[in-house]
Amino acid sequence: MRRVVVTGMAGVTSLGGDWPTIHAALRDGRSGVRYISDWERLEDLNTRLGAPADWFDDKGIYPRKKMRSMGRVAVLAVRAAERALTQAGLIDDPILRSGRVGVASGSSYGSTPPTVDFAHFIETGKAGPLSATSYIRMMSHTTPVNIAIYFGLSGRVITTSSACTSGSQGIGYAVEAIRHGYADAMIAGGAEEFCPTMAVVFDTLFATSAKNDDPAHASRPFDRDRDGLIIGEGAAMLVLEDYEHARARGAECLAEVIGFATNADGTHVTEPAAETQDIVMRLALANAGVGPETIGFVSGHAPATEIGDIAESRATHQVFGGRVPIHSLKGHFGHTLGACGAIEAWLTIEMMNEGWFAPTANLENPDSRCAELDYVVGEGRNLDIEYAVSNNFAFGGINTSIVLKRL
Q: Which residues are catalytic?
A: 164, 301, 335
Name which of 53, 394, 358 is nearest 192 in CA terms.
Answer: 53
Sign, Cα dihedral of 155, 158, 159, 165: negative
Instruction: Provide the β-strand partners of residue 257.
Output: 404
Query: Could you tell me if 372 and 278 are in contact, meaning their C-beta atoms sit under 8 angstroms apart?
Result: no
Residue 79 has, within 13 A of its CA and on its CB side, a CA count of 24
Query: Could you tell me if 208 and 46 are in contact, meaning their C-beta atoms sit under 8 angstroms apart?
Result: yes
Phi, psi angles (nearest 5°) of residue 405: -125, 135
Give 79-101 as a DSSP string.
Answer: HHHHHHHHHHT-TT-GGGGTTSE
Query: Could you tell me if 223 and 217 are in contact, meaning their C-beta atoms sit under 8 angstroms apart?
Result: no
Query: Could you tell me if 63 and 118 are in contact, meaning their C-beta atoms sit under 8 angstroms apart?
Result: no
Give the 3-state secondary structure of 149-188: HHHCCCCCEEECCCHHHHHHHHHHHHHHHHHCCCCCEEEE
